[in-house]
Structures are given as C-alpha cells and as structure tokens.
Amino acid sequence: MKLKSLLVGVGLLAGLGTAHAEDPFKVGFVYVGPVGDLGWSYEHDRGRQEMEKYFDGKVETTYVENVPEGADAERVITQLAKSGNDLIFTTSFGYMNPTLKVAKRFPKTTFEHATGYKRAKNMGTYVLRTYEGRYVSGVAAGLLTKTNTIGYIGSFPIPEVIRDIDATYMAAKSVNPDVKIKIVWVNSWYDPGKETDAANALMDQGVDVMLQHTDSPAPLIAAEKRGIRAIGQASDQSSFAPNAHVFSVRDDWAPYYIKTTKAVMDGTYKPTDFWGGFQDDMLSLASINDNLPKEVRAKIDETFEKIDSGEFHPFTGPITDNKGNLVVPAGHTLTDVELAQVNWYVEGIADEVPR
C-alpha cells in the first residue's frame, strides 16, 4: 500500500513537469466516536476505506474522529471545507445543525449528513433502515427469551432509537405474545463502563435476551459472563461473546459512499434523503450463531427474506401506541418522512419516552 502511494506520488511529480497533474477528488469524514470503537464509527471508517480502494487513487480521503456534537463539530467541518474537501460526510445526528451552517457558507462543497432531516442545495442526508435489522432481532429475542423479558440499552431518545425499540418489540410480540421489554438509557453512544452497568442492571431484573443501540461490545461481554443471549449492533461483535451472540446487525456504508462520491465527481449529484437497508446491501445479519435452535434459525432467515424481498414492512398498520392512540391506520405503511418522526412507543411497552 505504501509503495503504491509512493509510486502514485512519483507519477504525480513526473506529471508536474509537463502539465498540471489533476488534483485528486478530496472527501472528508467526521466521526463521533473513535474509529477503534468496533461499532458505529468503525463501520463508517470501513466504508471510507473501501470507497478509497474502489476509486484507486482518484479519491483522497481524510477523517476526524471523536468529534463532540456541537460547537467543536462546526469548527471541524469548517476546517475540512476550508482545506479543499469537495465532499464531506458528517456521521452523527448531532452534527445536523453544524453541517447545515457550514454548508451555507461553502456553497461549492457538497455535504452529506447521516441520520438527519435537514437538507440544502448542497447538503443531502442518508440513513440506515436499522429498524429492519431490529425487527429480525426482535423475532429472535422473542423466541429465545425464557423469562419473557427482553432488555434494550438505548443511547439517546431520538426517533431512530425509539423507532428501533418499537420494531424490536412488535417483532418480539409477533412470535411471543407474553413478552415484555425493559429499556435503559445510558445517555451516551459510547461508554463501555456504563453500557456494562446497564447490561447488569437489566440482567438483575430478569432480562435474558439483550439488545443495544450503543456502540461498544461491552454489553455482549457482560451477557457472555452471565450466560444470557445478546445481539450485536453496527459491526460483527461475535468474537466478544462466542456463546451469547445471536447475530450482529452489521452496517455497511461503502455502497452509499461509492455511489455518492461518483455522483459528485460526475456532476450528477442531487441532495436526497436516502434510506438504505437489506435491499441495498447496507445492512446485513453477520455471524448468525450455530448454537441457535433450528426453528429459531429458520424464523430468523424467514423474517430476513420477507423484509429483504420487500414483501413485509415492519411499520405497516394498524399500529397503536402505548397510550391507546391509533398511530398507523390499517393498510398504511409509514413513509420515510413519517418514520423519521416516530416519537411514541407501541402498545405493550410499559414505559414512557423520556422528554
């Protein structure tokens, strides 16, 4: 790899003598966690690397990791725009307003913000249909629980997380009418210690299958120690819990990063609100454990197929929220815009969304 970039460099220098070498297309990334988190930021960075490999020297990428959501983010994004990046991906919900602000100041640069809803002429958004993975997870959890209590470690009560809790619970209930869900918020995307504490608190209260919407593998390690089941998120976390691990819902951002970068390079880019899931190969079930009962495995595969083929959408009415209001009428499937505004728990979740 080093040798190759050296050769590219030499080639560029040689080119300088005769004509101006073409500047590589520059793409910047902003990550909320460390790239070594083995979760959210790790997967974005894997997508970045694959994208860079795909363009084979024609695209140059930089990234900034561990950027707090807020004033710091605005500074980092501005810096990336100033230093000549043509396209900038900002990869956390809290970067939405900073990204929009900077996008207005740098109209020639293209911005893409993950998980947000604000767009501009030069700013699009993209998100994963994580609820698809959660729905399959919920089916597995509902079948595997013996105490009829599944647990969910939440990060922040934003629509994406709430929607996934709903998907999980609806799925679990569809295979196990008696199932209950216990939800614990840790107010962090990434704090292995706190995630461990949350996992233990859930297990102390009878939870025997655990899901998480936080990024470290700590809850899986805790589950392995106590001999219960857990489902990994964002990246393949099977190595942390060989027995406990059911499967991981793995993110894959590379297809989108390649597609978008191509569009901006070709001048065909239009800001859109892109949602990628099983069908787009941006979500997959990684490392399904061999130690699952056969019928559970079959049900997992069946549910995956149904969503992947487009036959089934988890948010199809009638759906009632836990206060008794009909939130999705019969026959209606929530549109992406509506999905982005989910702020209610479905019927049967004995808890309230924190405000």
Question: For other proteins, which is the closer residue by CB, 298 or 350?
Answer: 350
Residues 233-272 that bind other proteins (CB under 8 A): 239-240
Q: Which of 193, 227, 293, 318 binds other proteins (CB under 8 A)?
A: 193
184 binds other proteins (CB under 8 A): yes
Query: Taking a C-beta distance cutoff of 8 angstroms, is the pair 117, 340 a contact?
Result: yes
92 binds other proteins (CB under 8 A): no
Min CB(202)–other proteins separation in Å: 6
Question: For other proteins, which is the closer residue by CB, 32 or 136?
Answer: 32
Question: For other proteins, which is the closer residue by CB, 111 or 240?
Answer: 240
Query: Taking a C-beta distance cutoff of 8 angstroms, is the pair 329, 317 a contact?
Result: yes
Q: Which of 9, 15, 36, 318 binds other proteins (CB under 8 A)?
A: 36
CA atoms within 13 A on the CB side of 338: 10
E runs forming strands in the chain? 25-30, 59-64, 87-90, 110-114, 123-128, 149-154, 180-185, 209-212, 229-234, 245-251, 273-276, 283-286, 319-320, 326-328
Q: CA–CA separation, 43 vs 161, rounded Å?
A: 18
Residues in the chain: 355
Q: Which of 87, 123, 162, 183 binds other proteins (CB under 8 A)?
A: 183
Question: For other proteins, which is the closer residue by CB, 39 or 314?
Answer: 39
Question: For other proteins, which is the closer residue by CB, 245 or 297?
Answer: 245
16 binds other proteins (CB under 8 A): no
232 binds other proteins (CB under 8 A): no
- Read off the tokens for 128: 């994963």
Q: How far is CA 317 from CA 131, 166, 173, 231, 352, in A?
A: 16, 13, 15, 27, 21
CA–centroid distance for 285 within its chain: 13
Q: Which residue has the tokens 């499967």?
A: 247
Rounded-to-10 torsion of CA 177, 246, 45, 103: 0
191 binds other proteins (CB under 8 A): yes
228 binds other proteins (CB under 8 A): no
Q: Which of 62, 78, 200, 287 binds other proteins (CB under 8 A)?
A: 200
Q: CA–CA separation, 276 vs 260, rounded Å?
A: 13
Min CB(149)–other proteins separation in Å: 10
150 binds other proteins (CB under 8 A): no
Determine the size of the site formed for other proteins (CB under 8 A). 45
Query: Would you give the DSSP letter of residue 321?
Result: B
Min CB(185)–other proteins separation in Å: 5
Residue type, 340: A
Residues 37-66 that bind other proteins (CB under 8 A): 37-38, 66
Min CB(89)–other proteins separation in Å: 20
Q: Which of 88, 171, 198, 244 binds other proteins (CB under 8 A)?
A: 198
E runs forming strands in 66-190? 87-90, 110-114, 123-128, 149-154, 180-185
Residues that bind other proteins (CB under 8 A): 33-38, 66, 151, 156-157, 182-188, 190-198, 200-202, 204-205, 207, 216-218, 221-222, 239-240, 350-355
